[in-house]
Amino acid sequence: MLERFWCPDVADAAAAVRSKCPEDVQRCISIADDVLEKRFLFRDHWEMERTYEPVQFGPAESDIDWACVPAGDPEWLYAMNRHTSFVNLGKAWQYTRDIRYAEKWARLIEDWIDRIPLTEESEANTWRSLEAGLRCEYWLRSVKLVQDSGVLTSQLREKIDGCLRTHGEYLVRKSGEFQKISNWGVLQDHGLLLLGVYLERPEWTALALKQLDENLHRSVMADGSQWEQSPMYHCEVLHNAADALLVARQNKVAVPGSFEENVHKMFRALAAWTKPNGNLPCQSDSDDADARDILAMGALLFEDPVLRTASGADPLEENYWDFGPACGVRLASLEIIADECPSDALPDSGNYMPRSGRDRQAAFLRFHCGSMGGGHGHADQLHIDAGCGGEDFLIDTGRYTYVDCPQRLELKRPAAHNTTRVDDLDFSPCRDTWSYISQAVPLKQTFRFTPQADLVCGGHLGYLEQDVAVFRRIVWLRETRAAVVFDEFFSDGKNAHEFSQTFHFGEGSAELRSASVFWSGKNARAALHCLGDVACELFRAPYSTDYNSLKEGDALLVKCRGEKFTSMVTVLDLAADSPLCAELIPVTRTDGEPLTVPAQAVRIVRDGTETVVLERHGDMPTPVGLLQAGRFSGHGRTIVFSDAQPDGIVLDW
């Protein structure tokens, strides 16, 4: 039956990976070599919780403790019992034809079956239903990889199939209310579908498809975002749903049209969510993982040029194992799209990605104002990422761990994100690793993308007890590769407040000069300019690009005090190799009447070209009149003027 699962011929796929992805081959063999020595370190590309400290067991197979919890983190146990190590042993056999890898696979899988039974106690650890669902894929993939080695005897095959039947019965039983919307449901039902096809249990296949379809109907927003607001868990759900679709197609199993549609929408959302270099932002509980293999999978499944453009020209390792060596020609045959306006919006989830282009070196922003997404969500309302030249300038500080500890809570708080705070208080204070005392209500607002400039904006109600309403409005200047950020604070004026911004910088060095920070990465350069009367302090702060990896980088704290209406204005320069001048200039009325609504304007000059961004912080002034900023005048709430557009582009009325 496994002939109709994934690539047609594993030897051909292994040859293609050896030729096209040699670094992946070496990583796999290194992992497999560790397993030969009973040393476990989880560092696969899509490992959900990577580890950096190896755990060594004794010389006998029975010395392996499948329920081990090193350093008090049960995620190690869960990773151990997903059995990605079995797949790496199978791949290493195909890459090298060294029988030791296949023999070790056979001993380990039999040892686990013999010593780790399904019990009421093990359901909470080694047999957690999430791991049971994932094991179905990893076991079947590893069986397909080693079945030509001679180690898969009829007795071992019977033992494996018997254990997989137990998995299927267990997964049917463990489908409850929690699974109806969580990522667990999709991961479990993907495993059940694979077993239904492999073991010729059509009732399992039908149940799995029904539950997968219902889960995606509930959990995938109209824009394609998975509701948990974590790009990494979006990818986990998407991989499992897409793999179920792939295997169903290969085995001529009918799939609901609504399921296919939601899978396709999730691929499109991922294409929007990823950074130009193909990596995920560390939003919520996400790592900085390269998602191009999943995007390429979507391009191949749906023959979609949007996904092909996002994934790039070449398949990655997993694409060869899924589709075989011919996937490279198939991917290259799809056209590449060229957008006049390359920015992306996921308005249902509140994620917006202004960009300068679609190439991997493009400058970009990411802005979030939307639902938090449950336990995996972080307190990141109004957060922005930014990057250029394939590098990260402003970052989300990531997750680091799920252990309930100070570092976990620190990285979930607003101060760990590039957003604003009032009176040194959190707008969504954490209770513990998975919950909050209260959550700020997001206020999603208008967005507009044009060929010349974009507007994204939003607010939240996290400071109602302080009688302060908070908003952020960002104008993205595509050709200039710069952004103007207006942070607005509206209060009743009875009390003065302290307002602050925090900005966390990516890997590199940051230098504070007056009220500007100049950042240098490996090759990219960028700058941040704080305009107006503010106090700036550069400090060191923790961040994490991968689970279990904690680093320290530069961060900026900006403060000011104010009553009634207060605005903090920041300019992000994502092409700092070319000098940029940014300054606030006065805003007046063309008829000479006094302003009755606050308004600000920022003049930006780069390479002799002037751009003026005018922002009116309120409704239309009375009596009606035009606003003047420098040599430009116009009517609207957010207007961008330039030599090429002297009458202005109105982004918001």
Tell me, yes or no, whether 536 and 506 share the same domain: yes
> For position 6, which CATH number holds?
1.50.10.100
Residue 221, domain member (yes or no): no
Residue 300, domain member (yes or no): no
Residue 157, domain member (yes or no): yes
Distance CA 470, CA 463 (A): 8
Tell me, yes or no, whether 590 and 526 share the same domain: no
Query: Across residues 619-633, what is the average pLDDT?
Result: 88
Residue 200, domain member (yes or no): no
Distance CA 79, CA 43 (A): 10
Residue 318, domain member (yes or no): no
Tell me, yes or no, whether 549 and 643 share the same domain: no
The sign of the torsion formed by the CA atoms of 292, 294, 298, 300 equals positive
Residue 127, domain member (yes or no): yes
Is residue 49 a contact partner of residue 548, using CB atoms and an 8 Å limit? yes
In this predicted model, what pLDDT tens digit does every residue of 57-69 receive, in sequence order? 998 888 999 999 9
Asked if pLDDT for residue 623 goes beyond 80, the answer is no
> For position 539, which CATH number holds?
2.70.98.70
In this predicted model, what pLDDT tens digit does every residue of 173-194 receive, in sequence order? 999 999 999 999 999 999 999 9
309: left (phi over 0), alpha (psi -120 to 50) or beta: alpha
Tell me, yes or no, whether 387 and 462 share the same domain: yes
Contacts of range 198-207, beta carbons closer than 8 Å, 24 or more positions apart: 198/1, 198/2, 198/5, 198/140, 198/164, 199/161, 199/164, 199/165, 199/168, 200/1, 201/168, 204/168, 204/172, 205/248, 205/253, 207/172, 207/175
Asked if pLDDT for residue 493 goes beyond 80, the answer is yes
Tell me, yes or no, whether 556 and 424 share the same domain: yes
Tell me, yes or no, whether 32 and 54 share the same domain: yes
Q: What is the pLDDT of residue 1?
A: 72
Q: Which residues of 435-461 are buried (b: 16+ CB within 10 A; e: fewer)?
A: ebeebbebbbbebbbbebbbbbbbbbe
Q: What is the pLDDT of residue 169?
A: 98
Q: What is the pLDDT of residue 6?
A: 98
Structural domain for 167, as ranges: 1-174
Reported as a pLDDT band with limits 50, 70 and 90, residue 393 is: very high
In the listed set 578, 596, 628, which residue is the last one of a domain according to the structure? 578
Of the candidates 576, 568, 559, 570, the residue with the CA atom closest to the CA atom of residue 508? 576
The reported pTM is: 0.96
Reported as a pLDDT band with limits 50, 70 and 90, residue 620 is: confident
Tell me, yes or no, whether 608 and 517 share the same domain: no
Q: Which helix (H) or strand (E) holds 468?
A: strand 468-477
Tell me, yes or no, whether 569 and 645 share the same domain: no
| Mean pLDDT over each residue of the chain, to the nearest integer | 96
Q: Which residues contact 22 (CB under 8 A, 6 or more apart)?
A: none
Q: Which residues contact 416 (CB under 8 A, 6 or more apart)?
A: 378, 397, 410, 502, 504, 541, 543
In the listed set 174, 206, 229, which residue is the last one of a domain according to the structure? 174
Asked if pLDDT for residue 624 goes beyond 80, the answer is no
Q: What is the pLDDT of residue 423?
A: 98
Q: What is the pLDDT of residue 526?
A: 97
Asked if pLDDT for residue 343 goes beyond 80, the answer is yes
In this predicted model, what pLDDT tens digit does every residue of 221-249 receive, in sequence order? 999 999 999 999 999 999 999 999 999 99
How wide is the angle at C-alpha 18 spanned by C-alphas 14 and 20, nearest 5°? 110
Q: What share of the chain is helix, strand, coil (3-state, %, to 5)?
A: 35, 25, 35
In the listed set 549, 578, 607, which residue is the last one of a domain according to the structure? 578
120: left (phi over 0), alpha (psi -120 to 50) or beta: alpha
Reported as a pLDDT band with limits 50, 70 and 90, residue 338 is: confident
Residue 633, domain member (yes or no): yes
Number of domains in the chain: 3
As beta bridge partners, residue 283 has: none
Tell me, yes or no, whether 44 and 27 share the same domain: yes
Segment among 357-361, 403-407, 576-580 with least mean pLDDT: 576-580
Of the candidates 630, 637, 601, the residue with the CA atom closest to the CA atom of residue 616? 637
Tell me, yes or no, whether 474 and 586 share the same domain: no
Q: What is the pLDDT of residue 494?
A: 86
Tell me, yes or no, whether 587 and 457 share the same domain: no
Distance CA 401, CA 375 (A): 13
Tell me, yes or no, whether 442 and 584 share the same domain: no
Query: Across residues 519-536, what is the average pLDDT?
Result: 97
